């Protein structure tokens, strides 16, 4: 369950988004500049809204009235960025376990072996990020986020910098982890195709506002309406 | 075969000790100042920036004289340090280290600052979302990524320290065995009749040292930046 009700002014851009969804995969959909990244940044705690509340599975991560602002490192929100942002000075294995090491062992329910197998990373473990292809990087980035034991996974346009063949490959992997790990995913994209394939529910953003929330069919209707 | 006499060896080791201690002591402060200048916005930032660069533009004698006035036995800071902790810089090799640290400080801060500014901050954001506290992220991401600049800054400051003359001689004088570093010894030999041969020998030592420091810097920087090259296409 994800409850977001936030407002923020960034220069001339006004973000004012309110939605509440409960679905295994939530698609956050809208054109570039509609505020998708601002919303996931706020959920991850790396961008502070001017006011509002953010709750994930009932736990308050941000509440401007009660002055609650859980630090990003304590939110346990996994974040996969558009460019993988693998740490260039660490090899794949050290990248993968960066977050895992920082979690208490009682919190570790997702195990390295499992993630390596799920994302097909076994052959990459000793490699340096700069020697990886775009798709490989993105898989490592997903694994790294998962091993930090998140209770929710945010993916911000994870396929945007990949070619079509790679896109399909990564989509397969994302479907596998969706079916296997049962971690709610917020999937940000401006591609209706990706959102339709992955998401169970869709939040439609436009110019900093949430204009529709619904199941994937609703998205299809929205598209034909406009 | 070029072999060093005991006196020359003493001069050389003193020089190396002064330069090493000055670099090691100033490195943590330089990293902190570089981080502040690169990342923080605070009132008076321009002033701090100017102060840091001051030793680069001031005549070294003025820096030495300033140190003498502040840290000398009768100076306000020197008196306090002497009375509370028995620390004396005046006319000691430690004073020479302070002088060379100060003269090398702008070079060090500048190199580290540029290197910190070049880091994509999203690496740090990613590390935070993975569970790293800001301090841990600094230690595990920011510092290693700034390593090329830290290496360059350290070696620049070290080389600058080996060559330090004006501030050193003004602050701690030219005492053989205590404050007489390589440049001071060379200067001394040029001032006595028949000292040219000695001056030339020591000059050769200085040239070899400087070239070695530069080559070492090049090598380390290349290694560091190779290991840290950006992972994006």
* Nearest-5° Cα angle at B58, B52 to B64: 90
Do B129 and A45 lie within an 8 Å CB cutoff?
A: yes
B72-107 per-position pLDDT tens digit: 888 888 888 888 888 889 889 999 999 999 999 999
A77 vs B: CB within 8 A: yes
pLDDT band at B158 (very low <50, low <70, confident <90, very high): very high
| pLDDT, mean over chain A | 89
Q: What domains, with CATH codes, occur in chain A?
A: 2-225 (3.40.50.300)
The predicted pLDDT at position B227 comes to 62
Domain spans in chain B, listed from the N-terminal domain onward: 6-227
* CA nearest neighbour of B166 among B55, B89, B64: B64
Q: Which of A56, A70, A77, A89 to mutate to test the interface with B (most CBs of B within 10 A)?
A: A89
pLDDT score of B75 = 86
Q: Is A172 on the interface with B (CB under 8 A)?
A: no
Q: Which residues contact A98 (CB under 8 A, 6 or more apart)?
A: A87, A90, A144, A148, B127, B130, B132, B140
Task: Name the percent of chain B lying above pLDDT 90.
Answer: 73
Secondary structure element (H or E) that encloses residue A20, with its range:
strand A13-21
pLDDT at A221: 56
Tell me the per-residue pLDDT of A182-195, one tens digit each, with 9 for 90 and over: 889 999 998 888 88
Give pLDDT, residue A131: 93
Record the tokens describing residue B167, joined without a space.
């501030």
The pLDDT of residue B82 is 84
Q: What is the pLDDT of residue B136?
A: 96
* pLDDT recorded at residue B54: 94
A145 touches chain B (CB under 8 A): yes
Q: How far is B227 from chain A (nearest CA, A)?
A: 6
pLDDT digits (tens, 9 = 90+) for B164-183: 999 999 999 999 989 999 99
Q: How many CB atoms lie within 10 A of CB B21?
A: 18
Q: Write the pLDDT tens digit of every residue in A40-86.
A: 999 999 999 999 999 998 899 999 999 999 999 999 999 999 899 99
| pLDDT surpasses 90 at A177 | no
Domain B6-227 has CATH 1.10.274.30: no
Confidence of residue A219 (pLDDT cuts 50, 70, 90): low
The residue ranges of DSSP E strands in A57-200, in sequence order, are 59-63, 68-69, 77-80, 152-156, 185-189
* pLDDT of residue B1 exceeding 60: no
This prediction has a pTM of 0.86
Contacts of A78 in chain B (CB under 8 A): 129
Q: Which A positions 80-139 lie with beta carbon below 8 A of chain B?
A: 81, 83-89, 98-99, 102-103, 129-130, 132, 134, 137
From B140's Cα to the closest Cα of chain A, the distance in A is: 9
| ipTM score for this prediction | 0.90
Q: Which of B19, B9, B57 is nearest to B159 (CA)?
A: B19
Integer Cα distance of A144 and A129 in angstroms: 13
Distance CA B66, CA B76 (A): 12
Answer yes or no: is pLDDT of A220 > 70: no
Residue B132 to chain A, least CA–CA distance (Å): 5
- Of all residues in chain B, the one with the smallest CA distance to A103 is B131
Q: What is the DSSP string of chain B?
A: -----HHHHHHHHHHHHHHHHHHHHHHHHHHHHHHHHHH---TTHHHHHHHHHHHHHS-HHHHHHHHHHHHSTTSHHHHHHHHHH----TTSHHHHHHHHHHHHHHHHHHHHHHHHHTS-HHHHHHHHHTT--HHHHIIIIIHHHTHHHHHHHHHHHHHHHHT--HHHHHHH---TTTT--HHHHHHHHHHSTT-HHHHHHHHHHHHHHHHHHHHHHHHHHHHHHHHT--S--
Contact across the interface for B132 and A137, Cβ inside 8 Å:
no
- For A207-216, B9-18, B158-167, which range has the lowest pLDDT when averaged over its residues? A207-216
């Amino acid at each position: 369950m994800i409850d977001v009700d936030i407002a923020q002014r960034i220069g001339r851009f006004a973000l004012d988004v309110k939605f509440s969804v409960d679905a295994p995969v939530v698609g956050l959909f809208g054109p570039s500049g509609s505020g998708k990244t601002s919303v996931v940044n706020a959920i991850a705690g790396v961008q502070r809204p001017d006011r509002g509340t953010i709750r994930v599975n009932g736990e308050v991560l941000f509440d401007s009235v009660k002055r609650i602002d859980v630090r990003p490192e304590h939110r346990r929100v996994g974040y996969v960025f558009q460019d993988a942002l693998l740490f260039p000075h660490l090899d794949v294995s050290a990248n993968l376990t960066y977050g895992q090491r920082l979690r208490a062992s009682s919190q570790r329910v997702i195990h390295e072996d499992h993630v390596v197998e799920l994302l097909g990373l076994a052959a990459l473990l000793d490699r340096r990020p700069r020697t990886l292809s775009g798709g490989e990087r993105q898989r490592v980035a997903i694994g790294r986020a998962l091993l930090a034991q998140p209770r929710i996974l945010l993916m911000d346009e994870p396929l945007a910098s990949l070619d079509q063949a790679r896109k399909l490959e990564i989509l397969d992997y994302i479907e596998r982890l969706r079916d296997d790990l049962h971690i709610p995913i917020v999937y940000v994209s401006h591609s209706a195709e990706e959102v339709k394939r992955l998401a169970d529910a869709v939040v439609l953003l436009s110019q900093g506002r949430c204009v529709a929330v619904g199941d994937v069919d609703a998205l299809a209707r929205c598209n034909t309406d406009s | 075969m070029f072999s060093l006499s005991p006196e020359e060896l003493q001069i050389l080791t003193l020089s190396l000790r002064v330069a090493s201690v000055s670099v090691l002591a100033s490195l943590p402060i330089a990293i902190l100042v570089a981080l502040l200048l690169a990342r923080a916005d605070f009132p008076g930032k321009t002033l701090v920036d100017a102060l840091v660069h001051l030793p680069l533009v001031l005549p070294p004698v003025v820096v030495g004289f300033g140190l003498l006035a502040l840290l000398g036995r009768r100076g306000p800071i020197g008196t306090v340090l002497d009375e509370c902790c028995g620390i004396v810089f005046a006319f000691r090799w430690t004073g020479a280290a302070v002088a060379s640290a100060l003269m090398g400080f702008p070079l060090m801060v500048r190199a580290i600052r540029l290197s910190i500014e070049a880091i994509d901050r999203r690496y740090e954001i990613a590390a935070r979302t993975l569970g790293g506290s800001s301090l841990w992220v600094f230690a595990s991401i920011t510092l290693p990524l700034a390593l090329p600049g830290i290496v360059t800054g350290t070696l620049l400051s070290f080389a600058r320290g080996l060559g330090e003359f004006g501030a050193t001689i003004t602050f701690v004088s030219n005492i053989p065995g205590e404050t007489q570093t390589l440049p001071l010894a060379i200067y001394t030999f040029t001032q006595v009749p028949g000292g040219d041969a000695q001056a030339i020998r020591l000059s050769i030592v200085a040239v070899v040292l400087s070239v070695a420091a530069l080559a070492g810097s090049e090598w380390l920087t290349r290694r560091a930046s190779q290991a840290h090259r950006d992972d994006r296409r």
